[in-house]
Amino acid sequence: MSNGYDVRRLQLRLLDNLIDIDRVCRENNLTYYLLAGTMLGAVRHQGFIPWDDDLDIGMPRKDYDRFFEIAKQCLPEYLELKNYTSHPNYSWWFMKVEDKRTTLIEKKHFNYTGGLYIDVFPLDGVPENVFLRKLHFEKVKCIDKLRYFRYRDPYKHGRGIRSWPSRIVNYLYSRNFLQRKIEKLIRQFDYETSTLVCDHDGGSASLMPKANLGRPTPILFEGKMFMGCEKPHDYLKSFYGDYMTIPPENKRASHHFYFLDLDKPYDENQGNIK
């Protein structure tokens, strides 16, 4: 049941919520950066990539932890901070700030209903040694794959052999065990003392010299000033290569959410979506 939605209206709602996050960070002296496609949009479009339907920010680990501690008291009531400890079916290992005035189901085969969200990624260090770094990413990738199967509906592809991986993982591991294992792995290397860092969402593809992030630097995004990377060219080139070239229509990635209602609070929608 995919439903169509107005991408521009979605983007403007996300923008309003980013303004609140930016305010909390400024008032509490917390460091954050626009990341990934959001940073690309800021440089190439001075706002959202026209077809983009999400918003990503990252925080160095100590700021990320602090934001988690204070956000509930500092954000507006309609913005809810989520992680795997706050909701039994929340499957991601990073935080999301969700808009309680909306309803969003990202994938049908995950039993989780929330709101339109902004992803908040922790920025952590990684080993400088090539072998240790590769081992680190392989460990994270392995546990993250187990996490995926642990939350996914085992019968997404029917009740045959393709249901076995999820069923086996469900039998062997608890959700909390896998989430804690990922968190322990990605916290292993201190951001402050590392020269190489990443957000871990894209695995080794998100690896970068910490100098590319540098000091948070104001950048124009949808007519507002937010914090971006100190070296946007180096950051975006490492992620996207020729980042100023607009991709053809068949390469323009969006989420294609299973269900989205920008006017209905998700608490009211629980149990009513088929």
Q: Give the pLDDT mean for 7-15.
A: 94
- For residues 14 and 103, membership in a common domain is answered with yes
Which two structure tokens, joined as six digits, stand for 207? 């690896």
Residues 20 and 117 in one domain: yes
Highest mean pLDDT among 13-27, 70-84, 110-124, 160-174: 13-27
Q: Which of these, 67, 35, 72, 33, lies nearest to 54 by C-alpha position? A: 35
Angle at which helices 61-74 and 7-27 pack, to 10 degrees? Answer: 100
Residue with tokens 């929340």: 90
Residue-wise burial string across 73-109, b where 16 or more C-beta atoms lie within 10 A, e elsewhere: ebbeeebbbbbbeeeeebbbbbbbbbbbbbbbbbbee
Instruction: Report yes or no on 2 lying in a domain.
Output: no
Q: Check whether residue 255 and residue 163 sit in a common domain.
A: no
For 76, 231, 239, 244, 246, the CA distances from 250, given in Å and listed in that order, are 38, 29, 20, 17, 11
- CATH code for position 224: 3.30.460
Range of the domain at 151: 127-188
Instruction: Specify if 149 maps to a domain.
Output: yes
Q: Are residues 45 and 134 in the same domain?
A: no
- Same domain, yes or no, for 46 and 134? no
Q: What is the pLDDT of residues 19-60, one digit of tens each?
A: 999 999 999 999 999 999 999 999 999 999 999 989 999 999
Strands 95-105 vs 259-261: parallel, antiparallel or unpaired: antiparallel
Q: For the packed helices 175-186 and 130-151, what is the interaxial angle rounded to 10 degrees?
A: 160
- Does 180 fall in a domain? yes
Does some domain include residue 274?
Answer: no
Q: Residue 1 falls within a domain, yes or no?
A: no
Instruction: Please indicate, yes or no, whether residues 142 and 234 belong to a single structural domain of this protein.
Output: no
Q: Is residue 23 included in any domain, yes or no?
A: yes
Q: Is residue 268 part of a domain?
A: no
Are the C-beta atoms of residues 221 and 39 closer than 8 Å to each other?
no
Tell me if the pTM is above 0.75. Answer: yes
Q: Say if residue 31 is in the same domain as residue 100.
A: yes
Question: What's the pLDDT tens digit per position in 52-93?
Answer: 989 999 999 999 999 999 998 999 999 999 999 888 788 899
Query: Percentage of the chain surpassing pLDDT 70?
Result: 95
pLDDT value of residue 124: 96
Asked if 114 and 138 sit in the same domain, the reply is no
CB 143 within 8 A of CB 219: no
Residue 155 has which token pair? 């019968």
Q: Is the pLDDT of residue 106 over 60?
A: yes
The answer to whether 212 and 235 are in contact (CB under 8 A) is: yes
On whether both 54 and 142 belong to a single domain, the answer is no
pLDDT surpasses 80 at 5: no
Q: Is the pLDDT of residue 2 over 50?
A: no
| pLDDT tens readout for residues 50-62 | 999 899 999 999 9
Which of 38-42, 168-172, 242-246, 254-258 shows the lowest mean pLDDT across its residues?
254-258
Judgement on whether residues 85 and 137 belong to the same structural domain of the protein: no
| Predicted local confidence at residue 28, as pLDDT | 96
Mean pLDDT of 101-124: 90
Residue 184 lies in a domain: yes
In this predicted structure, the answer to whether residue 267 has a pLDDT above a threshold of 90 is: no
How many Å apart are CA 69 and CA 89, to the nearest integer?
21
- Average per-residue pLDDT in the chain? 89
Q: Are residues 107 and 225 in the same domain?
A: yes
How far is CA 228 from each of CA 203, 212, 241, rounded to the nearest angstrom? 21, 10, 18
Specify the residue for token string 């593809």. 205
Cα 14–Cα 20–Cα 23 angle in degrees, nearest 5: 140
* Judgement on whether residues 62 and 45 belong to the same structural domain of the protein: yes
Domains contained in the chain, number = 2
Host H or E run for residue 166 = helix 164-172
